[in-house]
Amino acid sequence: MQTTAISARPDVQNARHPVAGCCLYVAGTDLFNPFPQPAQHFPRQWALFVEHLDLIGYRRFYDGPPVPALHRLARGLRALASERLTITGQANIRQIAIRKLRLPALLDVLFQDLWILANLQRHLAPLYDIAIVHGPESALLSRHLQRTGRAAQMIYHDIDYYPYVSARQRRIIAWREQMLVRRADLVLSVSRPLAALRTKQGARQVIYLPNGVDFDRFAQANRRQPGRPPTLLYTGTLDRRWGVDLPIRAMPLILKHHPETRCYIAGAGPDEANLRHLVETLKLQHAVRFLGFVPHTDLPGIMAQADIGLATSREDVFRQYASPLKLAEYMAAGLPVICSGGGEAAQMIAESGAGVNVPFSPDACAAAICALLSNPDELQAQREAGLAYARARTWEKLAAQLAQVVAALPGPPAGAWRAAKSEG
């Protein structure tokens, strides 16, 4: 068992030669998640290093706008009949989208795999040099690829501790996750605490491969206009675990020292009603603004209106292993980060110097924010540190680093797909 962090050589970072003939990336439901996910970014950069990439995603039974339950059922059934499986292509990527069945939670965990495999079977390549599976929902598909010899090398892209993503069916999800971890030739863990956990769980080889960032897109946010009031920004899911209530509770203390400060909250989620009620209770309607769900492509424009990014998660088992995508995006946008919750996020702040890690208390949060707003030189120093840190973590550079590791994997040489294709 081995746990290492990837460090790429410049010649590999700039490479454009393929390290594999045909590669599979199973992104699952995250490919079509409205919130940004690594599976929406990393595979398209990884495609630069392979001859051909099959990218597989799962669409929800109904993925349209909110409508009554019976309408969802009717429209979902129509979509299932007309768009059960769609295949599109761009450059060397073939994207295969499968629409999932609507099943009760327990049946979904037990039978959705059979539906996906039945629809995929005849569209899969005879052999993949590299198969990368993202998330435990595709564990049985991964096992099928290994048992049938259709994957020369199997990699698990490990982006979360899934038993705590969803409390329901936690045991089954944990079993799926551990099956992927133990049977994969290589595990790519998004955080260092997660990499350590996978090593303990019996992974053959673990690589720390952090989340990346579209640096050029988010760096556009650095074109800030002068004369704005001090602005805090949270982007992402509105969930109690994400601790969005902390900066709201800190706002009365912040306003005493910086009365023009405003706080933007860009996102949606199960805790939104509670957060809105908290704002009303504290009489902060003039200072806190809910922007609703903001498409990922529009985030740089929102970040250009801000001065500090917020990532104040509560400290729990799930957040201990997480690596928030927003941290690198804040940094690329030139936003110092106020962070809490420990884990990978705290390590990123410590090694980048691009923010402050605070205890989960309104007083500590307010003190850190006020200190930054009162010291323009420190604010600028943290902006520059964040830009340097994010510039080294682009999705393209991470894909290049993985190419270096894949080239050194033991087993069948790259190009097995070409050989199988020529024999066929």
CA distances from residue 39 to 29, 31, 217, 257, 362 in whole angstroms, order as listed: 9, 6, 18, 42, 34
Whole-prediction pTM: 0.88
CA distances from residue 314 to 106, 232, 260, 350 in whole angstroms, order as listed: 29, 18, 27, 18
| Model pLDDT for residues 243-299, shown as the tens digit of each residue | 999 999 999 999 999 999 999 999 999 999 999 999 999 999 999 999 999 999 999
**pLDDT band (50, 70, 90) for residue 9:** very low
Q: Which residues of 151-170 are buried (b: 16+ CB within 10 A; e: fewer)?
A: bbbbbbbbbbbbbbeeeebe
Distance CA(96)–CA(58), nearest Å, equals: 9
| Model pLDDT for residues 134-187, shown as the tens digit of each residue | 989 999 999 999 999 999 999 999 999 988 876 677 888 899 999 999 999 999
Stretch (H or E) spanning 205: none
**pLDDT band (50, 70, 90) for residue 419:** low
Say which DSSP state 123 is in.
Answer: G
CA 301 to chain centre: 20
227 vs 78: which has the higher pLDDT: 78
Torsion of CA 335, 338, 342, 345, to 10 degrees: 0
Task: Return the closest-CA partner of residue 95 out of 20, 21, 32, 186.
Answer: 32
- Considering the chain, tell me which residue range(s) the CATH 3.40.50.2000 domain(s) occupy: 3-212+394-423, 215-391
CATH 3.40.50.2000 fits 215-391, yes or no: yes
Task: Return the closest-CA partner of residue 230 out of 263, 256, 252, 253.
Answer: 263
Name the CATH superfamily for 3-212+394-423.
Glycogen Phosphorylase B; (3.40.50.2000)
Q: Is the dihedral of CA 9, 10, 11, 12 positive or negative?
A: positive
| Model pLDDT for residues 101-138, shown as the tens digit of each residue | 998 877 887 788 889 999 998 999 999 999 999 989 99
Partners of residue 88 on adjacent β-strands? 95
Which tokens in the block code for residue 341? 């919750």
Q: Average pLDDT of 327-335? A: 96
pLDDT, position 167:
66
Q: Average pLDDT of 348-354? A: 95
E strands along 2-116, which residues?
Answer: 3-5, 20-28, 50-59, 85-90, 93-99
pLDDT, position 227:
77
